[in-house]
Amino acid sequence: MAYYFFTEIDKLNDQNAAGNGEAYGPTAATGGKDRFRITSTHKVSANAKVIAVCKGTILVQEQYGNSDFLNIILKPFEQPPFEFPKIKYFIYRGVKKSSLVAGTNIVAKATNPLTDSLWTDYNAFNNLTNQAPPIELLGLGMNSAIEPYRNNDAIEMVFAITFEDHQLPVVQAGWHIANFDNTINIGFEIMFESLGFEPTLEIARKPDHIIEVTTLPSTPTQAVFFEHWHDKEDILNYLDPSAFWGSFYSKNLIVFNNGDKNKKKADELYTDVLSLYLNTNKCYIDIRNEFNFSLNYFKNYGTNATNNTTEIKLGKGSGMITDINYYSNGWPILILDNTGFSSTTNKYQELRLQLPCGNGDNPAPLIYISKAYKSGIKFPETFKLNQKFLTLTVYDNYTQVFNIAAPWVNGNLFSSFIRIKHCKRNTSEPLPTLIPTQIRRKDALDVIFTTRMNFDNIVLNFKAKVFDEFIYTDLREDFVFEGVFNLIMAIDSNNVTLLANPIEINSVGAYNRTTFSIAGSPKIGNDEINYLDEIMGDENGNILKKKALNITNGDINILEINRPYKVLKRYNEPDMKKIFGLTLTKTQWVTLLSIANDTVNFDKKYPIYISLINKQILEDIDLIKYITSEIALLGYKKISNNITTILVDSNIIINTYA
């Protein structure tokens, strides 16, 4: 799949020069707010083409405060051609309105491939001849006071609408879709897909996007301190475009330059593309806990409840391993530059890491390397399958050393992004008492699912949704494997089914590490929900067969589809044992949502998890063992000047097979 740079490189001014834009990342506090810039802004020397970075659907919105400019949201159909967290949207800011819109219509047909497509499709659908399409085809001209076009409505709601006479347009990778304006700062930003993150149209309409969090007072209460750092977690939903382009180090990024298309990677990518960014030499190390929050979100790896200093140990290249505060820049991500690295002729610099283990809180740590390169002569080699899982020994409250690598070009770090998970495995060792803000998983199904998975399947055009969250859980005791999972919610007329599906498996012995690839299911009008696995075909592209995970009224099967359908595997056979979850009635789910939404119980700005309590192993009349459990909700609440976890029993009892 092809990926393109977002504009014409020959017209993009050097961001390092004064007045040519602002870099992504921490920026100066002002007005009592700590600030983190999300939009990488630039100047162009002349009106420059807006290039579709990949195939996808677009939504166009008018900018706040200036009706002469537009922003374009691109929802990708294709993810990058390398291992990477899933991208939700690309946003282009500062698009010249007159390059796409003329009054209440789309501009002339021959303007660019997008306008050609709109004119052709609109006239063909309506049996017309050469009539200008209305701007509503782009999502413009809608009443912003009416759902789903209000400021606080989710962008996803607009993309999910089924219009009677049209759909939002699809663009192909590399299409010229509009022009940037050379009289203002233009911008480009990248949003990750993550559970609970639903960016609104208000964000999409801004000329610039900066996250602001109230600056901490000199002596904050525990509640103020926890809320401050919780709010700063929002930056983890975004990525520096410079680090994204840098991720094409070993792949080809296609760049428009003086009318030609050129493929760039490695040194040439650094010289011709990254060098135009202020963050050319920034390496982002994003370390998460097993719940996908930043390393010390729960305050179990830091100094205390009102001090977020979290020392990790880091060795740069051949240098000594030294202590460094993971939160040293005031935000929940570590950002490295060229400082402290020795010279090398290698194409990479080795990074040697040791992570804290919380004074006995994590006595059996597991590192999952989600996105990083390995050091060695095969650089840029990535970690594969079970190589991504590192079972480490604890020494003096830190993991043993593990190594990763960052690209190094001509004496400089190459802008890049690394993501690591610091996970807790189940252990029989005694653990310290939970601190008030900490959540600890008791077993595989405990506090995996959250009420944030809920979606409105009446409004949206699907009844099953996949959340690409990469949550770790340990199933070694019962199912001889552990891994990182995405989460799924399926809704039919009677039931709500919550599933965890492994994306990467770390298994014991010869256990099969293959996983089942799952996509969401649209509404079709019946209660069958099918998640299609990857299609198998012959060399001529003919479909031979495919598999699907099928849910019908809560009954789960894997089907092999080869005209006609037939049941291939049942829930209790090996492939399905990798997928686990809960089935609730709709009434039970509504009850849980009611408890979660009651502000007497929880503060809704924090996640609320489904916890299984009072478990008992019983036998049915056929002497088959099953587990009976009560469902409780676990979340956060402010009590006086402290925030603490709260467990609320729903009195709902469920049974699952042992």
Please tell me the distance from the alpha carbon of residue 523 to that of residue 458, in angstroms, as a whole number.
10
DSSP string computed for 229-283: HHHHGGGGGEE-HHHHHHTTTTSPEEEEETTEEEEE-HHHHHHHTGGGSTTTT-E
Residue 528: predicted pLDDT: 62
Taking residues 415-439, report their average pLDDT.
95
Q: What's the average model confidence in pLDDT over 144-166?
A: 87
Q: What is the pLDDT of residue 354?
A: 98
Look at residue 615 in the predicted model and tell me its pLDDT: 85
Q: Which CATH number fits domain 4-274: 2.70.70.10, 3.40.50.920, 1.10.287.1770, 3.20.20.70?
A: 2.70.70.10
Q: Per DSSP, which regions of 169-236 are E strands? A: 170-171, 176-180, 186-192, 210-214
| pLDDT of 564 higher than 70 | no
Q: Which amino acid, one-letter code, is at 321?
A: I
Give the tens place of pLDDT for each residue, 212-230. 999 999 999 999 999 999 9
Greater confidence (424 vs 549) lies with 424
Please tell me which residue, 422 or 470, carries the higher pLDDT value. 422
Predicted confidence at residue 579, as pLDDT, reads 80
Phi–psi pair at 202, nearest 5 degrees: -60, -45
Buried b (16+ CB within 10 A) or exposed e, 90-115: bbbbbbbbebbbeeebbbebebbebb
Which tokens in the block code for residue 265? Answer: 């990677």
pLDDT attached to residue 621: 73
Q: What is the mean pLDDT of the chain?
A: 89
- For 457-500, write each residue's pLDDT tens digit: 766 666 888 898 889 999 888 778 899 999 999 888 888 889 88
- In this prediction, residue 567 carries a pLDDT of 35
201 or 658, which is more confident: 201
pLDDT given at position 596: 97
What is the identity of the amino acid at 380? Answer: P
Cβ-Cβ contacts under 8 Å for 28 (sequence gap 6 or more) = 35
Q: Please give the share of the chain, as a percent, with pLDDT higher than 90.
A: 72
What value does the mean pLDDT take over residues 97-114?
Answer: 95
Alpha-carbon distances of 610 from 311, 469, 602, 607, rounded to whole Å: 32, 16, 13, 10
Tokens of 245: 């382009």
User: Taking the model in full, what pTM does it have?
Assistant: 0.92
Name the most confidently modeled range: 154-158, 172-176, 375-379, 466-470.
Answer: 172-176
User: Is the predicted pLDDT of residue 510 greater than 70, yes or no?
Assistant: no
Greatest mean pLDDT range, 310-319, 382-391, 498-507: 310-319
**What integer pLDDT is reported at residue 153 of this predicted model?**
94
- From CA 277, how far away is CA 14, in angstroms rounded? 7
**What own/partner pairs with CB < 8 Å and gap ≥ 24 does 123-132 have?**
125/165, 125/166, 126/165, 132/102, 132/105, 132/106
Domain regions of the chain by residue span: 4-274, 281-424, 451-657
Position 292 confidence tier, pLDDT thresholds 50, 70, 90 = very high
pLDDT given for residue 72 in this prediction: 98
Name residue 273's amino acid: V
> pLDDT value at position 98?
96
Q: Is 407 left (phi over 0), alpha (psi -120 to 50) or beta?
A: beta
Query: 379: pLDDT confidence band, cut at 50, 70 and 90?
Result: very high
pLDDT tens profile 511-553: 667 676 666 666 656 666 665 444 444 444 444 445 556 666 6
122 pLDDT tier (thresholds 50, 70, 90) = very high
Q: Are 136 and 168 in contact (CB under 8 A)?
A: no
Q: In this predicted structure, what is the pLDDT of residue 477?
A: 82
Reported as a pLDDT band with limits 50, 70 and 90, residue 70 is very high
Amino acid making up residue 426: N
**Residue in 459, 469, 517, 448 with CA at minimum distance from that of residue 491:** 459
Q: Is the CB of residue 382 less than 8 Å from the CB of residue 416?
A: no
Confidence of residue 204 (pLDDT cuts 50, 70, 90): very high
Residue that wins the pLDDT comparison between 211 and 562: 211
What's the confidence (pLDDT) of residue 583? 86
pLDDT at 417 > cutoff 90: yes
Sign of CA dihedral 242, 245, 248, 252: negative
Kindly report, residue by residue over 2-55, the tens digit of the pLDDT.
Answer: 999 999 999 999 999 999 999 999 999 999 999 999 999 999 999 999 999 999
Of 42, 40, 2, 51, nearest in space to 256 by CA:
51
* The two structure tokens encoding residue 489: 């919610």
Please check whether residue 47 is in contact with residue 178, taking contact to mean a CB–CB distance below 8 angstroms.
no
